[in-house]
Amino acid sequence: MPLVFDFYDKKVGIILLAFFTGVSIGLIYYFHFILHVHVIFTHFFYIPIILATIWFKRRSLILTGILSFLLLASSYLVSSFYLIEDLFRVLMLFFVNIVVIFLVEEIDKRRRQIAESEERYRLLFELSPQYILISNFDGKIYDVNEHVSEFIGLEKDELKGKSVFDLNLILPEKIDEAKDLLKTIKRGGKVPPYETKILDPLGNERHVRILSEPINVNGKDLVIFVVQDLTDIKEAQKELEKAIEEKDLLLKEIHHRVKNNLMIISSLLSLQARYLKGKEAFEIFKESENRARSMALIHEKLYRSSNFKEIDMMEYLQTLARGIFTSYAPTGVELNLDIDRIKMDVELAIPVGLIVNELITNSCKHAFPEGGKGEVNLKLKSLDDKILLEVSDNGVGFPEDLDWQNTESLGLQLVKSLADQINAEVQMISDNGTTFRLTIPEVSMGKG
């Protein structure tokens, strides 16, 4: 059985130090008092001094002092002629001792730093919630953390030396891909994090994300794999997607039913209007019917859209304006549309639609009392941080003595109320016809 001992064990150090110190003292005695010569191999003294420094650091100066005292005392007793020469040897002994002390303390400092670093690494390695595995480029396991050991159901020592390809972790169709990955890393290639599936000991598939990096451990070129289990996240994501899909279907159904209910109200108003004798009452019912239709149109667009929050105002206003024009416009009057593709939040689109409904209806009914040619213009433009909505005609214009904001007309009262609701500034210009210009703050809107 070979003799094994710890070089840094102080008990071993004391035994070796006593031996080499005894030899050094014996050399002094032998050369000075037996051979009666002054020449001594003081280079041998460096052996116990260096060993004492390794084991006892600065306390090794005591040994250097003892050897120096014995050397000088012996030299003085034999022949004081060589005392100066031996003083120089003593200085060299102390110089070497101090240099070695500095080097040993620096080495110990670095060793402590490395040990602390290794301890931190080991703690991170073992306490990490991720699966961490270190292997060589052939897939042979060098080390794993406790998380991997628990997942596979084998002790760490049992796993070391095994091949990852023999643990039934990798799907059969993924084995070649995994081997190619190891070859890429060995050639110095960079493998970005990627998602894949592995098998647990029961044969169930687990979704994982794998990060891999080459590392060097104790002079060995290895690969570290950090595996994050995404199975719970993927399942939660599926549940969330399912919930969103169900919510979208529910919203579609709600918008569909609201649209249908508004259309029923509009149809009932239309049917009821047929039994009215007075023209004024008929017009009131017809206007109410169109208001219901304008709101129903919003919900129809939402029902048919994949976005339940925003309305494409170009498509909506074109359909709305043409529908109103078909109901009210006199022969010879044309509708001109200049609409940017703007998307509005549904809470803003409804009041804007109602405003357009009232203003176009008002132009069709009152701007051209004697018929003839004319035009009604609808404009919606995006201007910096505002939206410009303008409805104009080249008809007879407003009477000069009429204050539109204080009129008894329900339609114009609605325009004022709805404009206040969306914080819009309203201008009414009566010059060669009538123009209503609304400036709307651009909030929750964007160009499509």
Q: How far apart are CA 34 and CA 247, in angstroms?
A: 107
Distance in Å from the first CA to the final CA of the chain:
85
Q: How far apart are CA 365 and CA 362, in angstroms?
A: 5
The pLDDT of 341-358, averaged and rounded, is 84
Q: Looking at the predicted structure, is the pLDDT value of residue 446 above 60?
A: no
Q: Looking at the predicted structure, is the pLDDT value of residue 344 above 80?
A: yes
Q: 1 falls in which pLDDT band (50, 70, 90)?
A: very low
Contact assessment for residue 428 and residue 398, using Cβ atoms and an 8 Å cutoff: yes
Complete DSSP assignment for 230-295: -HHHHHHHHHHHHHHHHHHHHHHHHHHHHHHHHHHHHHHHHHHHTT--SHHHHHHHHHHHHHHHHH
344: nearest Cα among 254, 244, 447: 447
401/156: higher pLDDT: 156
**Out of 43-47, 130-134, 189-193, least confident range:** 43-47
The pLDDT of 237-260, averaged and rounded, is 69
Give the tokens for residue 120: 């931190």
**Out of 5-9, 353-357, 361-365, least confident range:** 5-9
Q: How many CB atoms lie within 10 A of CB 220?
A: 10
CA distances to 15, 54, 367, 432 from 10, rounded to whole Å, are 9, 10, 112, 111
369: nearest Cα among 341, 336, 333, 412: 333
Q: Looking at the predicted structure, is the pLDDT value of residue 379 above 90?
A: yes
Contact assessment for residue 370 and residue 405, using Cβ atoms and an 8 Å cutoff: no
Q: How far apart are CA 212 and CA 182, in angstroms?
A: 9
Pairing of strands 205-217, 310-312: unpaired
The residues, ordered by sequence, that sit 6+ positions from 90 with a Cβ below 8 Å of its Cβ are 68, 71, 72
- In CATH terms, the fold of domain 331-448 is Heat Shock Protein 90 (3.30.565)
What is the three-class DSSP state of 91? Answer: helix
Pairing of strands 310-312, 141-144: unpaired
Q: Looking at the predicted structure, is the pLDDT value of residue 390 above 90?
A: yes
- State what percent of residues in the chain have pLDDT above 90: 9
Name the CA radius of gyration of the chain, rounded: 48
368: nearest Cα among 391, 392, 396: 396
Give the tokens for residue 391: 């409805």
- State what percent of residues in the chain have pLDDT above 70: 79
Q: How far apart are CA 115 and CA 121, in angstroms?
A: 10
The pLDDT of 288-312, averaged and rounded, is 65
- Please give the single-letter amino acid code of residue 135: S
Q: Looking at the predicted structure, is the pLDDT value of residue 8 above 70?
A: no
pLDDT of residue 273: 63
pLDDT of residue 4: 47
The secondary structure of residue 159, as a DSSP letter, is H
Q: 299 falls in which pLDDT band (50, 70, 90)?
A: low
In the chain, domain spans: 10-125, 128-229, 233-308, 331-448
The pLDDT of 300-327, averaged and rounded, is 74
The pLDDT of 109-133, averaged and rounded, is 83
- Residue 6 has phi, psi (to 5 degrees) of -90, 115
Q: 261 falls in which pLDDT band (50, 70, 90)?
A: low
Q: Looking at the predicted structure, is the pLDDT value of residue 245 above 70?
A: yes
Mean per-residue pLDDT over the chain, rounded: 80
CATH number of 128-229: 3.30.450.20
Element (H, E) at 196: strand 194-199
SS (H, E, C) 341-394: CEEEEHHHHHHHHHHHHHHHHHHHHHCCCCCCCEEEEEEEEEECCEEEEEEEEC
The residues, ordered by sequence, that sit 6+ positions from 331 with a Cβ below 8 Å of its Cβ are 371
Which residues are registered as beta bridge partners of 134? 143, 224
The pLDDT of 245-263, averaged and rounded, is 64
The pLDDT of 25-50, averaged and rounded, is 77
- Residue 431 has phi, psi (to 5 degrees) of -150, 110
The pLDDT of 314-322, averaged and rounded, is 84
pLDDT of residue 128: 80
Q: Looking at the predicted structure, is the pLDDT value of residue 2 above 60?
A: no
pLDDT of residue 338: 93
Q: Tell me if domain 128-229 and domain 331-448 are identical in fold.
A: no
